[in-house]
Structure 1
Amino acid sequence: MSRRSALFMGSVGGVAMAGGGAWLGRAGATQAMAAPAAEGAIGGLTTVPPYAPSGRRPKNRRATWSQQFQASHGWSAAGAGTASAEVNDKSDFVRGTQSVRVTTNGTGKQSYVRKSGMPAMNLSGKMIRLVFRVDDVTNLSKLVFYLGSGSLANFFSWTFHAHSKTSANYVQSGEWVTVHLQWADVTSAAGTYSISAVGKPSMKTGFTDMSFAVYDNAGGPVTYRLQAVELIPDTAEVFPKGVVSITFDDSHKSIHDLARPVMDSFGFPGTVYNIADAIGTGSFLTIDQMRSMQNFSGWEMGGHSYANAVHTASYPKLSAEQADEDFRKLREWLVSNGFTSEHFAYPHGAFQKTSDGVPVDLIASRHFTTARSIISETIESFAPAMPYRLKALTGINDGAGIGGTALSQLTGANGKLDRCVNNGDWLILCLHKVVDGAPKTSTEIGTAGLTTLMQAIADRDIPVVTVEEAMAYYK
């Protein structure tokens, strides 16, 4: 399979330019020239992209406490939903020489890997890192983690994955997955533990018990493997009050005309994920507007797709080569027009495998430093657990009866902003179109609602950064 880099021909004020410094409009032409082959090809994609990621993704965070399930780990596998288990399984692992393997019995009941009575642990300023794999997610229902004491008579729980039959899932078949659990994500409390009205846990120390629980959907068994349970520094280490990134998808002109003035008044920058093919047409941003937002208000101009048709279809509907080609053209278009962002958002949040079986997030990694989804079952963290599956809360609106995420779920007591400021996380918000007056769909927010949201963030003194700025904290 051949891949090509490009010599771009464009013009600025009628003056023709060539090479990597060219400025491209929508109709910028390309002239192909050969690119060298690269090692470590993904899905048969065998050449280096002309603009590969610079390598600014975060380094692995060192654990302050770690259980990697090697010999004599002392954890047990049980539960009413367990059919079989091997706690020293050497058939599949990504650290050391073994992991824990468990198969559920297809009844929908809890299966778990657990240990109680450990030396008391202090999780102040810490988050939990899990590394695990589900062999086949067909019958997966949900994943829950329990942290407590008294043989789990007292516990906090995180329901950190509920499997969807229709949407993109953070947990996919046969992949080793990393998840971060933060205090802002606690789902429930029991026994002597509680969560306050603004989302603060009653304690963060004295924990002796941990349990990794899996529930199938009662339609058949699920085999899962647990590789690590660890503690690492949480987001509050850098941002004591958490941090927010405000992102906009689809390049709507209203981002410039309506959102920018509101956010300028608070001194907040945003990240726009752009469809290159739409720029300069109809109700979409122009290149001059994009440059103005970037150069004078500190906004970030990231990528969403090159072709409109690709945005409509989404990348999993394409072959790996077609997806890679759109990523390449998008990144080249951004760079050639003076937009320095290395960050991307999946159209419709879809990063499943292409039509010929290559994970879209792996292809994205050839061209960008992060890629954002619209998964929000837990909130994102510093550093992100999986930079090519950044989590974000979407559908935020101030309408009535139009679905999506009601604005009050952020601004109200015990809402996302309270949890962010009191416990620390990286809350990435995904917006689309801004309107004067009342929104009519869940992808719209009114200027009044946007102002309310910005004021709520400012009132809590939560810092606002672009995605690019956020990632720069962990070079």
Structure 2
Amino acid sequence: MGLGGLATAGALGMPPATAGAAPSDGLAVPPFAPTGRRPRFRRATWSQQFQAGHGWSAQGAGTASSNPVDTAVFTRGSSSVRVTTTGTGVQSSVRRTGMAPMDLTGRMIRLVFRVTDVTHLGKVVFYLGRGGLKDFYSWRVHTRTANPAEYVQSGEWVTVHLQWADVSAASGAYTLSASGDPSVRSGFTDMSFAVYDDAGAPVTYNLQAVELVPDTTSVFPKGVVSVTFDDSQVSVHDLARPVMDSLGMPGTLYNIAEAVGTGGFVNIAQMRSLQDFSGWEMAGHAYADAVHTAGYPALTAQQADDDFRKLREWLVGNGFTSEHFAYPHGEFQKTTDGVPVDLLAARHFTTARSIISETVESYAPAMPYRLKAVTGITDGTGVGGTALAGVTGTGGALDRCARSGSWLVLCLHKVVTGTPVASTEISLAGLRQLMTGIQDRGITVLTVQEAMAYYG
């Protein structure tokens, strides 16, 4: 079962067919389709789209073969650059040096690329610098892991935004301050898109675009944070709400419909109170408990679509205005019959949040159905997850958000009064530390729904 012509649009994070279009492959028209209030496409201030005569070249000992004008695989214009690696784990790159100096103040880098098969992909790194890359900054664009729900999926065009908050290293005359501030943001003449295979076998990749677009600082000079909670835990109402109310901060609660009103979870009245009196967003996480447990990739496309439909109907029927969603376990890869889950989510919701955090989110998001988020934030010891100190400490996620500008989406689950015993728990004291850390840095706090409304 497939979704026909929706595949390319979905892979680029673009809107699928709306309720006014014909249903795809037997799936019913959604009764509550997304409203279409999505961020407008950001026009590039500088763009390299890899058409004939682009002047970039495939380099590196890790390059086995290349085609600078591949007219067989592309998603813009009539060509892209295609490269196949050697399978030795050595760097392969598409680069250009000696360009006219560029100023990246208030800008982020937009990449559009494709990996034919990610099985033996190691990592993707982007370099920006000068002097033949003697001085450079680098961004870790993507690192392949064992998690099947990764941002880069086989055979799909993906869009990635790289912001100053994401810089992973500096070399030569370039430096990063203790709080993650780059020493230089202009005068760049060199760029390199580098791919490393895992030394097990070659990989083939296509690079379609390297562009500069306005970053989040054009709207929020100190960036913006969305505080989200998964799973409808009642502790969000009882413990998190009073802390956030005292600071005037709203949150987004991603809900499991069948769990609502049962032991340990919020009820409808509490959800309405959060929405109507504290400005919170009541979003979707799954309709059925069993679906939340299994994850959407464990279902057929029809089963997944049915759960999405029931969830939207339940939200609307109970007076909740959000049309935003978070994947259970962060999983959006294909269903058992081969349909990408994010394409199905796009039939019913305006965004869908993952738990990917190799880079942070931006305005506008690169792929609204793979929103990035820092998850498992905890002040527990030896429980895994993301250490709270790494978020609130010097040079951590909050510092980088405030100094570099980004949309930092935080994912929490349960708040406890004692010591956390799992990565899905944060103590009440830890939550206060997190929220005051946001306030002290002057970072704006918005729900996901509010954030997306800025670019209608």
**How far off its partner does 1:37 sit?**
8.9
Deviation at 1:78, TM superposition (A): 1.4
Aligned mate of 1:187, from 140, 146, 168: 168
Q: Does 1:430 align with 2:411?
A: yes
Q: Which residue of 2 aligns with 1:466?
A: 447
Report SS of the residue matched to 2:380: coil
> Which of 171, 181, 184 is the equivalent residue of 1:203?
184
Match of 2:136? 155
Could you list the per-position Cα deviations for residues 344-385 of structure 1 after superposition, in whole angstroms to 9, with x for gaps in the alignment?
000000000000000000000000000000000000000000
**Cα offsets for 1:216-275 (capped at 9, x unmatched):** 001101000000000000000000000000000000100000000011011100000000
1:126 maps to what in 2? 107
The AA in structure 2 aligned to 1:309 is A
Hey, what's the Cα distance between the residues in 2 that align with 1:111 and 1:291? 53
Residue 19 of structure 2 contacts residue 30 of structure 2 at CA under 8 Å; is this kept in 1?
no
Length-normalised TM-score, structure 1 = 0.91
Structure having greater relative contact order (Cα 8 Å, sep ≥ 6): 2
> Cα distance 1:183–1:40, how it changes in 2: closer, same or farther (>3 A)?
farther
1:82 aligns with 2:55: no
Paired with 1:375 and 1:40, the residues of 2 have a C-alpha distance of: 32
Q: Which residue of 2 aligns with 1:103?
A: 84
Letter in 2 for 1:123: L
Contact 1:199/1:414, CA 8 A, preserved across alignment: yes
Tell me the equivalent position of 2:206. 225
CA contact (8 A) 2:19 2:33 kept: no
What is the 5 A alignment of 1:272-287?
Answer: 272-287=253-268
Residue of structure 1 in register with 2:7 after alignment:
none
Q: For the Cα contact (< 8 Å) 2:353–2:372, is it kept in 1?
A: yes
Q: How far apart, in 1, do the equivalents of 2:148 and 2:224 lie? A: 27
TM-score norm. by structure 2 comes to 0.95
* Partner Cα separation in structure 2 for residue 40 and residue 454 of structure 1: 46
The 1:243/1:168 distance shift into structure 2, 3 A limit, reads: same
Q: 1:45 to 1:262 in 2, by over 3 A?
A: farther
Residue 387 of structure 2, aligned match among 406, 412, 422: 406
AA aligned to 2:324 is H
Q: How much does 1:40 deviate?
A: 5.8
TM-aligned CA deviation for residue 167 of structure 1: 4.0
Deviant stretches of 4+, over 6 Å: none
Q: How does 1:344-383 map to 2 (within 5 A)?
A: 344-383=325-364
Bigger strand share: 1
CA distance in 2, matches of 1:46, 1:335: 20
Give the superposed CA RMSD.
Answer: 1.2
Q: Residue type matched to 2:175 in 1?
A: S
Q: Between the two proteins, what is the percent identity of the paired residues?
A: 70
Are positions 1:256 and 2:256 aligned together? no
**Cα displacement string for residues 260-296 of structure 1 (whole angstroms, at most 9, x for unaligned residues):** 0011011100000000000101110000000000000
Matched residue type, 2:154: S
Deviations, residues 193-229 of structure 1 (Å, cap 9, x unaligned): 0000111000100000000000000110100000000
Q: Shift of residue 398 of structure 1? A: 1.0
Distance 1:250 1:340 in 2: 18
| DSSP 3-state at the match of 1:187 | strand
Counterpart of 1:453 in 2: which secondary structure?
helix
Residues 148-207 of structure 1, C-alpha deviations (whole Å, 9 max, x = no match): 000000000001100112341000000000000000000000000000011100010000
Equivalent pair of 2:22/2:29 in contact (CA under 8 Å)? no
Matched residue type, 1:122? D
Distance 1:160 1:430 in 2: 21
- Partners of 1:76 and 1:181 lie apart in 2 by 22
State the distance in 2 between where 1:105 and 1:39 align: 45
**Could you tell me whether the CA contact under 8 Å between 1:263 and 1:269 is conserved in 2?**
yes
Quote the offset at 1:59 in angstroms. 1.4
Alignment of 1:434-449 (within 5 A): 434-449=415-430
The alignment of Structure 1 onto Structure 2 pairs a total of residues equal to 440
- Whichever residue aligns with residue 455 of structure 1, its letter is T
Which is greater in Rg? 1
Q: CA deviation at 1:454?
A: 0.5
Distance 2:243 2:213 in 1: 37
Residue 401 of structure 1 deviates from its aligned partner by 1.3
The amino acid of 1:137's aligned partner reads V
Find the counterpart in structure 2 of residue 265 from structure 1.
Answer: 246
- For residues 426 and 36 of structure 2, what CA distance do their matches in structure 1 show? 35
